[in-house]
Amino acid sequence: MMFSIVNSTLCPQSGPIYRVMQILLLVSICCLATARAQSVTASLGGTVVDENGAVVPGSKVAVISIAKGFQRTTTTKDDGTFYVPLLPPGNYTVKAEHDGFTTAELRDVVLNVNDQVTIEIKLKVGSIAGETVTVIDQASIINESPAVCTTIDRQFVSNLPLNGRSFQSLIALTPGVNLTKASFSEAGQFSVNGQRANANYFTVDGVSANVGVSPGFNIGQGGAGSLPALAASGGTNNLVSVDALEEFKVLTSSYAPEFGRTPGGQIQIVTRSGSNDFHGSLFDYIRNDVLDANDWFANANRLPKPALRQCRG
């Protein structure tokens, strides 16, 4: 691929400015060629062994999502291992079968965003065709990802009270996260492990969501993409609604090189996908000062509660 710049009196091709422009153009093209989205899926691997712990090569392994109605199949290698990548977050059932063994079934294998999970499946010798051994207990799951992270799943989002139906306050549940005050020079909202508040990186389904705005006239941080695309009020409502949120993960340290844009926290937001069940959602949001206690300082000065009334559905 060849590039040329039109010759001009302001930028002659033999001058130093022309060479600088060539270098900048080449760097920008390389950056565009290597840009990619962060992974929002999980991977499941493991080993199939018999009752004595010997590996069972050639076993058929199926990873089934009953809620979403799909399955991924693979076969164990000579060392008895298998690997299934690119699995959406969710609850899975894992089946393993081989001639001369009864079928083993592991239920409730939960995979979260960006998990790297390994399991061990034990097959029992059996001669009755179609006999199935169902493992009711929770499978022994080992997460091999070195990342230090906290996952906030839909159970927390649905059951915890959220001000303004924004899950932003749940980010503070992560160890190492400290809320910061937005200022003219630094407009981020929280710091992770002592990093700057404008060093955090947001993604929604693997796509960058760092196109935020600045509270003042300094648009440098917002224009550089170091601020999340939060709403004008500072909430996460415009990123994804709580009804469409499946889960989000906050990675604080030792994460993979794919998260190399900023040194702070990496916030991965995953939206919900369809399932076999027809369902919907209905909510009613009410906030009234009748349900609130008066402020201590207002009580000390014998002042009434200020009116705070919001209601929408």
* The pLDDT of residue 30: 45
Are residue 182 and residue 112 in the same domain, yes or no?
Answer: no
Range of the domain at 255: 148-271
Q: Is 311 inside any structural domain?
A: no
**pLDDT by residue (tens digit) across 265-278?**
999 999 988 777 77
CATH number of the domain to which 83 belongs: 2.60.40.1120
Mean pLDDT confidence for 164-189: 83
Q: Is 204 inside any structural domain?
A: yes
Of 126, 143, 160, which residue constitutes the final position of a domain? 143
Q: Is 128 inside any structural domain?
A: yes
* The pLDDT of residue 309: 74
Are residue 195 and residue 214 in the same domain, yes or no?
Answer: yes
Contact predicate 250/270, CB 8 Å? no
Are residue 176 and residue 257 in the same domain, yes or no?
Answer: yes
Higher pLDDT, 46 or 36: 46
Q: Is 152 inside any structural domain?
A: yes
Q: Is 2 inside any structural domain?
A: no
Of 108, 143, 178, which residue constitutes the final position of a domain? 143
Q: Is 70 inside any structural domain?
A: yes
Are residue 197 and residue 120 in the same domain, yes or no?
Answer: no
Are residue 179 and residue 236 in the same domain, yes or no?
Answer: yes
CATH number of the domain to which 202 belongs: 2.170.130.10
Predicted model pTM: 0.71
Are residue 106 and residue 53 in the same domain, yes or no?
Answer: yes
Higher pLDDT, 216 or 142: 142
| Domains contained in the chain, number | 2
* The pLDDT of residue 11: 41
Q: Is 138 inside any structural domain?
A: yes
Q: Is 167 inside any structural domain?
A: yes
Are residue 160 and residue 211 in the same domain, yes or no?
Answer: yes
Are residue 171 and residue 127 in the same domain, yes or no?
Answer: no
CA terminus-to-terminus distance, the chain? 56
DSSP-based three-state secondary structure for 31: helix
Q: How confident is the model at residue 34 (pLDDT cuts 50, 70, 90)?
A: very low
Q: Which helix (H) or strand (E) holds 60?
A: strand 60-65
Higher pLDDT, 18 or 53: 53
CA-based R_g, the chain, Å: 26
Q: CA 54, CA 125: separation in Å to the nearest integer? A: 12
* The pLDDT of residue 163: 76
Are residue 132 and residue 177 in the same domain, yes or no?
Answer: no
